[in-house]
Structure 1
């Protein structure tokens, strides 16, 4: 019988929030008798907690006023990758200060979710787009 860990990370996991709305009694039973879960349930819970922590740390890092959207780079490299960060920096320090940059950013935010859906649905699209985005990252990092 394993007792529930105390929350020492300073946040409530999304899993715990969902459990509270789903089954308050389950939380009480877990607290009194320990948590009983299968290996698959444990792995899924741990994966969810890791993802929640990553999201929490990213939100702290960027704050609520910073626009962290970078859909295509996030899909290709991950939300915390240096390439994604370089593209965000380029947007925030260069593009945002130009009229045509604002137009580009608006068009990007309009089109990129559809591009990400294509990348997810058709893996070969990733192999077509990634070399181009790699090239952009190289250009941006030289000028940054």
Structure 2
């Protein structure tokens, strides 16, 4: 009676047939993706589109590259403590909520027109400075408490 065939030990520097087949598949896959693009599932494509939309919206709302968009406050106060405080309030309190983002968007839409109207009118600028004082005070108080108030 014959016993099982003796196994032939593979040398460490040899490559199995399975590994060779996988190398061929990998090479073909790389070539296919180069010619036709990578195949993505419908869910992946939808997630990619959503990410692109959110990124665009973030940049339109004044992402980190566009810090100088406190139009009225900058016109009234210049680049000072008040403007820095209002920017921090915008970023930490308003931006996280949907309502806050809506307020920011409305402000960005109307403030250039308001600034054009105020520019060159010192009496109106002083009046606007007085009108903004309570907003700056409230923003400072909210930020001092941790800036976690939902709007």
TM-score of the aligned structures, taking structure 2 as reference length: 0.49
* Aligned equivalents of 1:130, 1:124: Cα separation in 2: 10
Q: Which has the larger radius of gyration?
A: 2
Change (3 A) 1:64 1:107: closer
1:76 equivalent in structure 2: 76
Shift of residue 134, structure 1, vs aligned partner: 1.2
Shift of residue 114, structure 1, vs aligned partner: 1.0
Could you tell me whether the CA contact under 8 Å between 2:72 and 2:111 is conserved in 1?
yes
Shift of residue 110, structure 1, vs aligned partner: 0.6
1:30 equivalent in structure 2: none
* Aligned equivalents of 1:65, 1:77: Cα separation in 2: 21
Q: Report the count of equivalent residues.
A: 81
Stretch moving more, 110-119 or 84-93 = 110-119
Q: CA RMSD in A?
A: 1.8
Change (3 A) 1:118 1:84: same
Shift of residue 64, structure 1, vs aligned partner: 5.5
2:103 equivalent in structure 1: 104
TM-score of the aligned structures, taking structure 1 as reference length: 0.52
- Correspondence 1:46-125 to 2 at 5 A: 65-79=65-79, 81-125=80-124
Instruction: Name segments (4+ residues, structure 1) moved above 6 Å.
Output: none
* Aligned equivalents of 1:66, 1:99: Cα separation in 2: 20
Shift of residue 66, structure 1, vs aligned partner: 4.9
Structure 1: state its 5+ residue gaps: 1-62
